[in-house]
Structure 1
Amino acid sequence: MIFMAFAVWSSSFDTCIARRGNQWRESRGNSASLAKKKGKNQGNSHHQQHHNGASKPKPPSQHKAPPLPPAPKVDAPPPPSPPQKSSTAFNVLDFGAKGDGKSDDTKYTKCHPTHFTCTENISSNLSWLTWCSGAMQAFQAAWAAACKVAASTMIVPAEHVFLVGPISFSGPYCQANIVFQLDGTIIAPTNFNVWGRGLFQWLEFTKLVGITIQGDGTIDGSGSVWWQETPFEDPVDNESEFIIPLNKTVQQHPPMPIRSELNGKMPSIKPTALRFYGSFNVTVTGITIQNSPQCHLKFDNCIGVVVHDMKTSSPGDSPNTDGIHLQNSKDVLIHSTDLACGDDCISIQTGCSNVYIHNVNCGPGHGISIGGLGKENTKACVSNITVRDVVLHGTMTGVRIKTWQGGSGSVQGVLFSNIQVSEVQLPIVIDQFYCDKSICKNQTSAVALSGITYEKIRGTYTVKPVHFACSDALPCMD
């Protein structure tokens, strides 16, 4: 039994040796073999001694011990390797982007000479990761590499201007918690051929978990070339019909410039500058979005949105340029932002709930609005909205709820608190007869309003302080 236990222990020791790697195994190979042979011979001698009696001791060897081999020559250590770039940071310049404001940085471009070609099965221990095979779009290639590494960062560096066409940074197979570090400037192309028949968004992030857009950079939508093409084709807020200047004269819409850099006409569909769709835990902070052809920042079907310390900037007469647009999104926090645009500073549409807005500066623009809801007899539901500690200056309306006739659904649990207005035309508005067309059909059904609270709304107005137009069938209720 003792011999069997020794054999088992010896076998497991040999197995442990084999697991230590080639270098260790080769250096110990001879001694390990000798040990095995010696052990076997000792075992046989013990067996013979057990059966044949004591054996005679061997005489001492007459041979001298062989001389020791010379010490191996030690080569000089290799020079230290150059510092490696982080395997979680992906700079668009390293993927072929020019950043000169003229070259199209979404065009197909050959990979940077320092890149290597690899497949989708990227090893996690590589220090210089790319996803590059032949040629690929610079921004798209950088995103594809970042997409494969959790908590990675895609870098758009400062002091560069990147001309970027319509692009989608999409999941759902991207790793979580990616950071889009925007410190440079991204500008939209003004060539009408880039846009085809029209697109609804320019820069889009879809189906992501834990996506953050941050930095000191700027997204410039080159909106003036769109606004001047069709300045009056888009619907206009009908609240303007209630706005009569104090001198009783109606001001005409200021003319827009007619110069154009285009060789043709831009499509009638204007894109949103930055859109998030179907994503969880989205953060936008630090950046500036300016001169969007239409809406500046849009969240659609998102959960867990945080927007803070960022800006939107467009002229007050730029058509339909909402600052932040929310739709079918919940658990939203917006604070410490400066919003200047030609439409609603913040627009809250159907399907939104648990929205908290505070410490926002709005103007120029059309104020902070819920709606329009119920367009074309649709059902709309909005609930649990808080807007507080907001400053509005020079806006068309202050805080507003607008619904269409013929719609259904409800708006419940809304608080407007501590709102400071300065030279605002209509500070408080509820309009259940909203219509952005010349003629709208009279209908009795409407979106029901309940639990609407106004408190501590102070400041100056230019037309009238309150405008309530409530439905006869479903009047506004506490």
Structure 2
Amino acid sequence: MTSSTLLLFFWIVLVTFSITSVEARKHQTKKSKPQKHQKGGNNTHDSHLPRPAPTPVPQYGSFSVLSFGAKGDGVSDDSNALIAAWKAACKVNGASVEIPSGFKFLIKPITLQGPCMPDVVLQIDGTLMAPPKVSSWSKSSLFQWINFKWVHNFTIQGTGVVDGQGSDWWTGSSSSSSIYNYLQKKSNKHMPNFKPTALRFYSSYDVTVRDIRIINSPQCHLKFDSSGGIIVDNITISSPENSPNTDGIHLQNTQNVEIHHSTIGCGDDCVSIQTGCSNVHVHHINCGPGHGISLGGLGKDRSVACVSNIIVNDITFQNTLSGVRIKTWQGGIGSVKNVSFSNIQVSNVKVPIMIDQYYCDKKSCKNQTGAVAISGVKYDQIIGTYSVQPVHLACSSDIPCKDVDLIDIQLKPSAGYQRFQHALCWNSYGKSQAPLVPSSIDYCLRRDENPVERIAKSQDRQHQC
């Protein structure tokens, strides 16, 4: 066989082999095409395909609002970015929502809702700002600005500021609520009846708020409603003295609370403890300006009010309307019991010690029989200066205050004030213990000459709690 013939033979073999290989691959590809699942059958070929490894669920994470589109320029609406960061963090154990320092975030009224994974943190190092104009708030959002709902094991902390920008809400303000209401209607007929709280917690448990500043809320700065297991530590609350109804911390239907080592100055109560509260400990607080630390007003419109086991100690009041106060409306039902006020320093406080069972926030209120029963209240070591009256215990004529203790009370007039140096006490029963300044305090409390009838009336009121 010649060389040319041999070369032709090998070329024919090579072409034949290539065609056979292509046909074989086509046939194999057609056979290997995944078949549709038949009812009740298995796709065995699918099970051999490589699958991506499942993404592990992170156990911690940081979610900056900047990563979700926030501008942080104080003008752009960053509400949706905060909501998106919250929703992402809510799914991760131990996650944090970051409000970074150096930025101002304009946030419209929002609700940050749980339940979330445990130990979520809102880290506020920048500034959160509310809408500054009343006209920019919708009627449906007047109850609160930032609302936390159904959150558990949650912390707010940081070096930043929560700014309610409330000055536009205070038009025609006055320290007197009745005068304020009159002027407000005259000066701005379009002012809403309701004003928003800056931070509100509803039905939330094991919540800690620490280190941050809350300023200039339209109304109350920090509110806990129907909650429990609350710790407030080392915060600062600030608004002008003439900003109406701007309570610092407001508690309602909330139990097991500790508020401590904080500074509060506002236009109303530094701490307000309302019905449904028990096991509350408030200590190491600087209060002023403001209306003091108050239980109530309780029992409005003949409602049932129940407050018990309240401890307030190591407090400094400066230039406040009251010091430690219990205030109830005439005709109320329920009880205030087991309350202790101790180691209180007052400086130029109008009335350092007050029980007012004739509370009225208008020019006049209807006289009513019955009252929230008050018992087991101790005032121990209340020392400093007053500008109007040292002690004011105005208890109900129908249901007197009982088991009230006045121990080591030393109150002197502020410089330049010589008014009402005598304590005013009405229908209050208990005991006093020296030292007592002014001396009229020693005659303030009476012994009960007919305890059976009075105790029976008080117990009838308390049975509602």
State the TM-score, normalizing by the size of structure 1. Answer: 0.69
1:96 counterpart letter in structure 2: G
Mapped to 2, the partners of 1:306 and 1:273 lie a distance apart of 18
Deviations 1:434-462 (A, max 9, x none): 11122211111100000000000000000
**CA apart distance, 1:469:** 0.7
Residues 1:362 and 2:287 aligned together? yes
- Among candidates 220, 225, 229, match of residue 168 of structure 2: 225
* Cα distance change on mapping 1:86 and 1:452 into 2, 3 Å: closer
CA drift of 1:190 comes to 2.0
CA deviation map 1:86-108 (0-9, x unaligned): 961100000000001111112xx
Contact 1:387 1:416 in 2 (8 A): yes
Q: Please state whether the residue corresponding to 2:361 is helix, strand or coil.
A: coil
Contact 2:222 2:248 in 1 (8 A): yes
Match status 1:372 vs 2:297? yes
- Give unpaired runs (5+ residues) of structure 2: 1-47, 51-57, 404-465
Percent identical among aligned pairs is 56
Residue of structure 2 in register with 1:406 after alignment:
331
1:324 aligns to 2:249 (yes or no): yes
Question: Which residue of 153, 156, 177 maps to 1:236?
Answer: 177
Distance, in Å, in 1 between the alignment partners of 2:187 and 2:74 is 21
What is the aligned partner in structure 2 of residue 96 from structure 1? 69
- C-alpha distance in 2 between matches for 1:212 and 1:194: 29
Q: Supply the AA of the counterpart residue of 1:149.
A: V
Match of 1:336 among 256, 261, 265: 261
The structure 2 residue matched to 1:140, chosen from 83, 105, 110, is 83
Rounded to whole Å, the distance in 1 between the matches of 2:160 and 2:92 is 23
- Matching residue within 294, 305, 315 for 2:230: 305
- Match of residue 272 from structure 1: 197
Matched, 1:160 2:85: no
Whole-angstrom distance in 1 between the partners of 2:329 and 2:193: 24
Task: Check conservation: 2:59, 2:92, Cα contact below 8 A.
Answer: no
Give the 3-state SS of the residue equivalent to 1:175 in structure 2.
coil
d(CA) in 2 for partners of 1:86 and 1:449? 50
What SS does the aligned partner of 1:162 have?
Answer: strand
Deviation, 1:199, is 1.1
Conservation of the 8 A alpha-carbon contact between 1:165 and 1:194: no
| 1:336 counterpart letter in structure 2 | H
Residues 1:467 and 2:392 aligned together = yes
Q: What are the Cα deviations for residues 306-360 of structure 1, in whole angstroms up to 9, with x where unaligned?
A: 0010010001111000000000000000100000000000000000000001100
Whole-angstrom CA distance in 1 between matches of 2:138 and 2:64 = 29
1:201 aligns with 2:126: no
Query: How far apart, CA to CA, are the structure 1 residues paired with 2:235 and 2:241?
Result: 18
Quote the Cα distance in structure 2 between the aligned partners of 1:427 and 1:324: 20
1:236 aligned partner, one-letter code: S
- Say if 2:112 is the partner of 1:169: yes
Compared CA separation, residues 447 and 259, structure 1 to 2 (3 A) = closer
- Pick from 303, 308, 312 the counterpart of residue 387 of structure 1: 312
The structure where strand makes up a greater share of residues is 2
Structure 2 SS opposite 1:268: coil
d(CA) in 2 for partners of 1:268, 1:308: 32
Decide which of 294, 298, 313 is 2:219's aligned counterpart.
Answer: 294
- Deviation of the 1:265 alpha carbon: 5.0
State the SS of the aligned residue for 1:477: strand
Structure 1 residue 266: Cα displacement: 4.8
Letter in 1 for 2:136: V
Over aligned residue pairs, what C-alpha RMSD do you find? 2.5
Separation of aligned partners in 2, 1:277 and 1:235: 30
Q: CA deviation at 1:468?
A: 1.0
Checking the alignment, whether the CA contact within 8 Å between 2:134 and 2:169 is kept in structure 1 is no
Residue 22 of structure 1 and its aligned partner are, at CA, apart by: 9.0
- The alpha-carbon deviation at position 390 of structure 1 amounts to 0.4
Contact kept? 2:220, 2:245, Cα under 8 Å: yes
Matched, 1:178 2:130: no
> Of 418, 437, 446, which residue of structure 1 is paired with 2:343?
418
Deviation at 1:267, TM superposition (A): 2.8
Instruction: Name the structure 1 match of 2:208.
Output: 283
Aligned to 1:133: none
Partner residue in 2 for 1:345:
270
Give how far 1:178 is off.
0.8
Distance in structure 2 (CA, Å) of the matches to 1:277 and 1:88: 25
Asked if the contact 2:134–2:168 (Cα under 8 Å) also holds between the matched residues in 1, the reply is no
CA distance in 1, matches of 2:151, 2:59: 23
In the aligned structure 1, how far is the partner of 2:137 from the partner of 2:350? 37
Q: CA deviation at 1:195?
A: 1.2
Structure 2 residue identity aligned to 1:101:
G
Judged with a 3 Å threshold, the aligned counterparts in structure 2 of structure 1 residues 433 and 266 are, in CA distance, closer, same or farther, namely closer
- The C-alpha deviation readout for 1:369-423, integer Å capped at 9, x for no partner, is 0000001110000000000000000000000000001110000000000000000
Partner Cα separation in structure 1 for residue 366 and residue 395 of structure 2: 16
**Corresponding residue for 1:119?**
none
Amino acid of the residue matched to residue 195 of structure 1? Answer: W
Distance 2:193 2:399 in 1: 37
Equivalent position amino acid for 2:127 in 1: T
Contact 1:235 1:437 in 2 (8 A): no
Q: Contact 1:195–1:267 at 8 Å: present in 2 too?
A: no
Q: Which amino acid aligns with 2:64?
A: N
The residue that corresponds to 2:362 in the other structure is 437
Look up the equivalent residue of 2:294 and give its one-letter code.
Answer: S
Q: CA deviation at 1:184?
A: 0.2
Alignment pair present for 1:454 and 2:379: yes
* Residue ranges of structure 1 left out of the alignment (5+ in a row): 1-20, 24-84, 107-136, 239-251
1:175 shift after superposition: 1.4
Structure 1 residue 170 displacement after superposition: 0.6
Kept in 2: contact 1:176–1:208 (CA 8 A): no
Whether the aligned pair in 1 keeps the contact of 2:60 and 2:93 (CA below 8 Å) is no
How many angstroms apart in 2 are the aligned matches of 1:217 and 1:404?
Answer: 39
What is the letter of the counterpart of residue 252 of structure 2? Q
